[in-house]
Chains A and B, each alone.
Chain A
Amino acid sequence: MALKRHWYHILLALAEGPAHGVEIRRRVARHTQGSLELYPAMLYGSLEDLKERAWIAEVADRAARPPDASDRSRFLALTPAGRAILAAATEQFGHVIQIAQSLLAGEGSP
């Protein structure tokens, strides 16, 4: 499955727990050590895309929101489908990484 890179990181950020847009951006920056800059239009557009696919959803239940949340911001959470997509993509990455590691290790030895 070809999953856009920033979609992957948004899903990953939400795996930490429900969050609003700015917090998602912050988490992505932390996860990628600043290498992926999520500009606002990209961020909110992607959030809409992911909502359309029902991979993420707005948290309606107040109890499910984090305690420090204000009422104004929209809180988003991973849906079971989103979690499954994330898991599948992660597995794929894991596979690629394994191959890469074994190749690089082989190159290092004479």
Chain B
Amino acid sequence: MSLGAKYYCLLLRLLPREFREAHGADMLAAFEQMRQEHRSGADPLALGRFYLGLTLDVVRRVGPERERLRRHRQGRADARRGSPGMPLAGGTGTGLETWLADVRYTLRRMARSPGFTAIALLSLAVGIGANAATFALVEPLLFLDLPYGAPEEMVEVYLDIGAFPSGALSYPDYVDVREGSGGVFVDMGTGAYTFGQRVRGDQVQSLLGEMVSGSYFPTLRMGAALGRTILPEDHISPGAHWVVMLGYGYWQREYGEDPDVLGETLVINGQGYTIVGVAPADYPGIVRGVPVDFIVPVSMAAEIMPLQTDRVSDRGDQGFFTKARLRPGVSLEQAKLTLAGIGADLEETYPDIWNGSIHFRLVPTADVIMNPVMDRLILPASVLALALVGIVLLITCSNLASFLLARGTDRRKEIAVRLALGASRGDLVRQLLAETTVLALAGGALGLGAAVWLLGFLTRLNLPMPGSVRLTLAMTGRAYLVGLVAAMATALVFGLVPALRSTRPDLVPALKDDGATEGRRRRFSPRNTLVAGQVAASFVLLVFAGLLVRSLQAREKVDPGFGNEPTGLLTVLVPFSQYDPEAGRAVLREYLDRAGRLPEVEAVGLTGNVHLNTTNFSGVGLEVEGVDPPQGQKAWQSDQTQADPGFFRAAGIPILRGRSFDDRDVPVGEAVAIVNQAFAERFWPGEDPVSKTVRTVPQGRQLRVVGVSRTTKVRSLGEGPRPFIYTAYSQDYSALVTVVIRARGDAEPALQAALRTLREMGPEIIVVESRTMERHLGVLLLPARAGALLATLVAVVALVLASMGLFGAVSYAAAQRSREAGIRIALGAAPGSVVAQVVREGMTMVVVGAGVGLLLALGGAQLFRALLFGVGALDPVTFVGVPVLLLGVALAAAWVPARRVSRLDPAKVLKAD
């Protein structure tokens, strides 16, 4: 070997062995080749430059190659341990590759600390799931997807009757408006609810339907999902158009989305209708959000709902929800003026019905969620629900941030080493963010799964809903998006802060392994602030839940004044087309006799409308003997319904004075009435109401009071004593009645037995609804129950999350202070006192948080006042109970990890450094 080659071999020894072994031979070959080239010149100066170049070349390479080797070793070691070093490469490779490397690294880290990962994933799943599910619930209310053509031209026409400023029109009203408004409206359509019974085998389905004018779908400018919609050609001769459209949900449920349903016959109320189409999936219904099973033309009103009155000609049947389309260039104001003119004309023509305070009201369709009156409740409730779960997400996020901060502190040394070795801060932040992103996305996926399950569960619960409304809850595209955005926002916001903090480039203390310098003397470190914030948020949520639960308790304690025994309710329609009033009474009398003899049944009775029916309040105008009508009005308004002799006993309403209805009250005899005590006290205080008379307005029927009944709740549980008047069913026929079945044992068997008897006796009698009294009253309690349940769930979740945060913070503090504690115990301090100190420090955050929470809750409760019932906004039970509960749970969460300090072996702790 030449001298030059020997020198080069020596030179190569500077390089790492691995590099030498891989490339040494090749490098020597290259050296030989270069030497051949340079020898040709043989200029000593050039030769010297060559050797200098060779030397510098190798020396320059020593550093980078050593770094490369170290990197490889680290990678291999980490692979063995199952935890690699953080990928250092910055700006090399493609972005995707870097991200993939980051993600792989994160997954390995997560697998290494399953406890942390599980807690983080669970809290994220709860936070994100709660938000997505709640959003799916309120989304249809907040985002008005109007599936109509040119929805900005559309307006809703309501009747403002003072007490209810956005009621529906009667069909004659609709006709009058339609005829008088050609100048301002291009198109106008209307629809009302109807019900239908469908018998399938031995099963009876009670369906909710709509009957719509032929102009209705053309006004909406909506087509059908399948086949055609109801069209003007279906609205020509009354009783001649046997066609029906299926609701999309009903088509899905009952026909399995079979496209061949067109042309089939659907038998409703015993009569066959040809299926001509299926409504689009996004068809909102005449009132948004109330899904219907079928839609028929209004020309079939008398057939689909064989009542004794003709809904199409009855000016008192105000059930027609009306939409119109403004003529291009016509403003809402012009249309309002036109309608005011029509209203004035109607007032002149029908002074009995159109008394003074009634007028038309126009609202742009785009501004209406369900109904302008209900919207005033829906909107705040939705926003409140979102705010509640939003707080939970915040707590989740702060928990996550708190964990990440702690881990960031743990990892400071590792991070500092990497920074010292030249990794850029951007690389590290990106890496740490990848970690939170993976966590948040995985938690988000879990949460969305939980939301899907929860909504399915709620749907299966079959909650008591008014009428035949069926509740179908499902996740929506937007709700998924909200979940995803929540997850990403969590990752970004609450991953970035700890990431920036832990990569802060003051390396020296970290490298000195002085882990304890962080946060030891700082009572209000970010971590402690987060814990205090969580405690405050939990406090507010607990107070809110407490108030709602107390409201619910108060509401449940309200005595409705009837139906306190197990009772079944059977709402039936005796088809007027087959039964005139006389035949109808006869068939029901026979039915009541038979049902009353059933062994399961204690008593039966009959009423036109059960009290506390949220979908139907019926009133009557009255002139009261000896009392002037209210100023500017022709008559008093009172709630009213029919009752038969058995009703009061079956419903459990005692007659306090006089008598109940009986066989003396024949159709042709003197018309009689029973009033409730509230009625008697309102109009005849201190007098005997029996034998007083009232006269109905505008019919002018005179009624003599024969009895006084105990006052019941009529419209809502929260109302004060409300005057009520019962007329005799025998004198005031209704084809639509509710049979009240008081059970001897449980309500359900009695109801089923009564239903069977009805099927055997009169299969043509339409069962509109069958339900227990418990379920009937449950409709009223549903919002309160749902609210209390939701708020309690949310508050408990918040409390658990906050406790987890506190637990983490205290464990961390305990671990950091182990050295100090060890010294103190070694010096003779009682372990108990050391524990107490750690607990005390943890509880300081809790007390600060609880104090802030108390102030917030005191303020916030005033805002909730409208939602409360029977409790004050400063309910002492809540405001004492919540702090006790919170402090108790917090104490446990702080004490468990703090106890560890006392079990330290001082010798071990002191040797650990």
Contact = CB atoms under 8 A, between A and B. Distances in A.
Interface of A: 20-22, 25-26, 37, 39-45, 48, 52-54, 72-74, 81
Given A20-B26, A45-B64, A53-B92, A39 B53 contact: yes
25 contacts: A21-B23, A21-B26, A21-B29, A21-B30, A22-B33, A25-B33, A37-B53, A39-B34, A40-B26, A40-B30, A40-B31, A40-B54, A40-B57, A41-B15, A41-B57, A41-B58, A42-B61, A44-B23, A44-B27, A45-B19, A48-B19, A52-B92, A53-B92, A53-B93, A72-B25
B65 interface: yes
Chain B: interface secondary structure? helix
Contacts of A22: 26, 29-30, 33
Contacts of B54: 39-40
A43 B31 CA distance: 11
Most central of A45, A48, A81 by chain B CB within 10 Å: A45
Nearest to B8: A40
Interface in B16-30: 19, 22-23, 25-30
B60 interface: yes
A39 B61 CA distance: 11
A73 B33 contact: no
B93 A41 contact: no
Nearest to A26: B33
Contacts of A21: 23, 26-27, 29-30
B74 to A, nearest CB: 14
Interface string B61-96: 100110010000000000000000000000011100
B26 A44 contact: yes
A48 to B, nearest CB: 7
A54 B96 CA distance: 14
Interface in B300-344: none
Most central of B19, B26, B94 by chain A CB within 10 Å: B26
A37 B26 CA distance: 16
A26 B37 CA distance: 11
Contacts of A81: 94
Contacts of B15: 41
Most central of A41, A53, A73, A74 by chain B CB within 10 Å: A41
Contact of B60 (A42, A48, A52, A73): A42
B57 A48 contact: no
Contacts of B33: 22, 25-26
Nearest to A21: B26
A73 B26 contact: yes
Contacts of A45: 19, 61, 64-65
B642 to A, nearest CB: 86
Given A25-B33, A53-B93, A54-B93, A41 B53 contact: no
A39 B68 contact: no
Contacts of A74: 26
A21 B34 CA distance: 13
Given A41-B27, A52-B68, A53-B92, 18 more contacts: A21-B29, A21-B30, A26-B33, A37-B53, A40-B30, A40-B57, A40-B58, A41-B58, A41-B60, A42-B57, A44-B19, A44-B22, A44-B26, A45-B19, A45-B65, A48-B65, A48-B68, A54-B93
A65 to B, nearest CB: 16
Interface of B: 15, 19, 22-23, 25-31, 33-34, 53-54, 57-58, 60-61, 64-65, 68, 92-94
Contacts of A25: 30, 33-34
Contact of B30 (A43, A48, A72): A43
Contacts of A54: 93
Nearest to A20: B26
Nearest to B97: A54
Contacts of B26: 20-22, 40, 44, 73-74
A53 B91 CA distance: 11
B705 to A, nearest CB: 96
A20 B60 CA distance: 23
A41 B61 contact: yes
B171 to A, nearest CB: 73
Contact of A39 (B57, B65, B93): B57
A81 B28 CA distance: 30
A52 B19 CA distance: 14
Contacts of B58: 39-41
A81 B27 CA distance: 26
Contacts of B34: 25, 39-40
A94 to B, nearest CB: 23
Contacts of B31: 40
Q: Which 10 A-B residue pairs are closest in the complex by CB-CB distance?
A: A39-B57, A40-B27, A41-B61, A44-B23, A40-B30, A41-B58, A41-B57, A45-B61, A21-B26, A22-B30
Nearest to B93: A53
A52 to B, nearest CB: 8
Contacts of B60: 41-42
B415 to A, nearest CB: 23
B26 to A, nearest CB: 5
Contacts of B19: 44-45, 48
A42 B54 CA distance: 10
A31 to B, nearest CB: 16
Contacts of A52: 68, 92
A74 B31 CA distance: 17
Most central of B28, B29, B33, B65 by chain A CB within 10 Å: B29
A58 to B, nearest CB: 11
Nearest to B26: A21
Contacts of B92: 52-53
A48 B92 CA distance: 14
A39 B54 CA distance: 6
B9 to A, nearest CB: 12
Contacts of A26: 33
A25 B33 CA distance: 10
A43 B15 CA distance: 14
A27 B65 CA distance: 25
Nearest to A43: B30
Nearest to A73: B26
A53 to B, nearest CB: 6
B778 to A, nearest CB: 66
Contacts of A53: 92-93
Contacts of B29: 21-22
A54 B92 CA distance: 10
Nearest to B62: A41
Contacts of A41: 15, 27, 57-58, 60-61
B35 to A, nearest CB: 11
Contacts of A40: 23, 26-28, 30-31, 34, 54, 57-58
A67 B891 CA distance: 79
Contacts of B64: 45
A25 B29 CA distance: 11
B413 to A, nearest CB: 27
A44 B16 CA distance: 13
Contacts of B65: 45, 48
Contacts of B23: 21, 40, 44
B252 to A, nearest CB: 50
Nearest to A37: B53
A81 B54 CA distance: 31
Most central of B15, B29, B30 by chain A CB within 10 Å: B30
A41 B31 CA distance: 10
B10 to A, nearest CB: 14
Contacts of B94: 81
A85 to B, nearest CB: 10
A22 B54 CA distance: 15
Nearest to B14: A41
A106 to B, nearest CB: 37
B16 to A, nearest CB: 11
Most central of B23, B28, B68 by chain A CB within 10 Å: B23
